[in-house]
Amino acid sequence: MPQLLAVNPETPPRRHLARAAELLRDGAVVAFPTDSCYALACHLGDKEALDRIRAIRQMDDRHHLTLMCRDLSEIARYARVDNAQYRLLKAATPGSYVFILEGTKELPRRVMHPKRKTIGLRVPDHPVALALLEELGEPLLSTTLQLPGYEAPLTEGWEIQDALSGRIELILDGGQCGTEPTTVVDLTGSAPLLVRQGRGPLTPFGLEAE
């Protein structure tokens, strides 16, 4: 059964963050709250942990994963960002958005879309997620904790613990954080393209709700 560590969602204790970072470096899959839903995450370079996340979510390699970053400078390291894209990113980060962008050579090929060579990137606006990224000192490969057969993402630590017993190593339980996923915007074309409408407002992109 995964270890469950209760954390204050505004001021998560350093010792719990250090424990999560240690496990992630050792190949763990960790669940934690974000500004949209709980997320599952692993170390960017860990193929086995990535395969476990894909198995939990029952998704293939054409499903975009999300690289969760601390700030825009990290996004620019892992994705090709022109001036127009950068202005949009600056207006909407941190926030409940995932941006589809072309990946750089800093990314392992296995984490990108096999044909498009794209990946989702985001800067969360949640103290636990940001503190974990800061403690780790590098981005996390992540996905929404939306399990097959469930109508909505899990949002209680005990529910996650029961549902994923034996499949992940740790849960940072910051209490309920919502069930509405991120808004996903594809920035690889000549104009922003709405892929999924979620928690993030569409105003920064000049898009209309579907």
Instruction: Report angle CA 68, 168, 62 to the nearest 5 degrees.
Output: 50
- Cis status of the peptide bond prior to 94, with omega within 30 of 0: yes
Residue where the block lists tokens 């630590």: 157
Kindly report the backbone phi and psi dihedral angles of residue 95, in degrees, each rounded to the nearest multiple of 5, phi listed first.
175, 180
CA gap 204, 149 in Å, rounded: 33
| Cα–Cα dist 45/87, whole Å | 29
Give the dihedral of Cα atoms 144, 193, 130, 119; nearest 10 deg.
70
The domain ranges of the chain are: 3-201
Interatomic CA distance for residues 52 and 202, integer angstroms: 33
| CA–CA separation, 190 and 129 (whole Å) | 31
Per-residue H/E/C for 166-206: CCCCEEEECCCCCCCCCEEEECCCCCCEEEECCCCCCHHHC
Q: For 119, what's the count of Cα atoms within 13 Å in the CB-facing half-sphere?
A: 29
Q: Which two tokens stand for residue 44?
A: 């960017």
| CA-closest candidate to residue 133, choices 98, 175, 172 | 172
3-state secondary structure of 129: helix
Contact 22, 30 (CB under 8 A): no
- Model pTM? 0.95
Per-residue pLDDT of the chain (210 residues; tens, 9 = 90+): 899 999 999 999 999 999 999 999 999 999 999 999 999 999 999 999 999 999 999 999 899 999 999 999 999 999 999 999 999 999 999 999 999 999 999 999 999 999 999 999 999 999 999 999 999 999 999 999 999 999 989 999 999 999 999 999 999 999 999 899 999 999 999 999 999 999 999 988 888 776
**CA separation for the pair 118, 88 (Å, rounded):** 18
Give the homologous superfamily in CATH for domain 3-201: DHBP synthase (3.90.870.10)
Q: Give the type of residue at 128.
A: V
